[in-house]
Amino acid sequence: MIQHHPDIATLMAFSAGTLDRPYATVVATHLAMSDGGRETLRHMETIGGALLTAEPAAELAAGALDRLLGTVGEDQISVTPREERSANELPLPLQPFLPKGLEGVRWKWTGPGVATADLAWGDDGKSRLMLLRVAGGRRVPEHGHGGHELTLILQGAYRDRFGVFAKGDIADHDEDVEHQPIAEPGEDCICLVAVDAKLTFRGRLMRALQPMFGI
Query: What would the pLDDT profile of 109-130 be if each residue is shown by its tens digit?
Result: 887 888 999 999 988 778 999 9
Provide, for the chain, the percentages of residues in helix, strand and coil under a 3-state DSSP scheme, each rounded to the nearest 5: 30, 25, 45
CB of 158 within 8 A of CB of 53? no
Say which range, 81-90, 94-103, 145-154, 185-194, has the weakest mean pLDDT: 81-90
* Distance of alpha carbon 70 from alpha carbon 67, whole angstroms: 5
Does residue 196 surpass a pLDDT of 80? yes
pTM for the full predicted model? 0.77
Sign of the C-alpha dihedral, residues 15, 18, 21, 22?
Answer: negative
Burial class (CB in 10 A: 0-12, 13-18, 19+), 72: exposed
User: What is the CB neighbour count within 10 angstroms for residue 148?
Assistant: 19
- On average, the pLDDT of the chain sits at 81
Predicted local distance difference test score (pLDDT) of residue 83: 47
Does residue 79 surpass a pLDDT of 70? no
Predicted local distance difference test score (pLDDT) of residue 207: 44
* Distance of alpha carbon 52 from alpha carbon 152, whole angstroms: 32
| Ranges 109-113, 148-152, 172-176, most confident | 148-152
* Distance of alpha carbon 7 from alpha carbon 23, whole angstroms: 12
Does residue 165 surpass a pLDDT of 90? yes
Does residue 10 surpass a pLDDT of 90? yes
CB of 64 within 8 A of CB of 168? no
- Domain edges within the chain: 8-79, 102-213
Does residue 84 surpass a pLDDT of 50? no
Predicted local distance difference test score (pLDDT) of residue 51: 54
- CATH number for the segment(s) 8-79: 1.10.10.1320
Report pLDDT digits (tens) over 30-69.
999 999 889 988 877 776 665 556 667 667 677 766 665 6
User: Residues 96-102: contacts with CB within 8 Å, 24+ apart?
Assistant: 97/25, 97/129, 102/154, 102/155, 102/190
The domain made up of 102-213 has a fold known as Jelly Rolls (2.60.120)
> Which three-class secondary structure state does DSSP give residue 130?
strand
DSSP H helices in the chain = 8-16, 21-33, 35-54, 64-70, 204-213
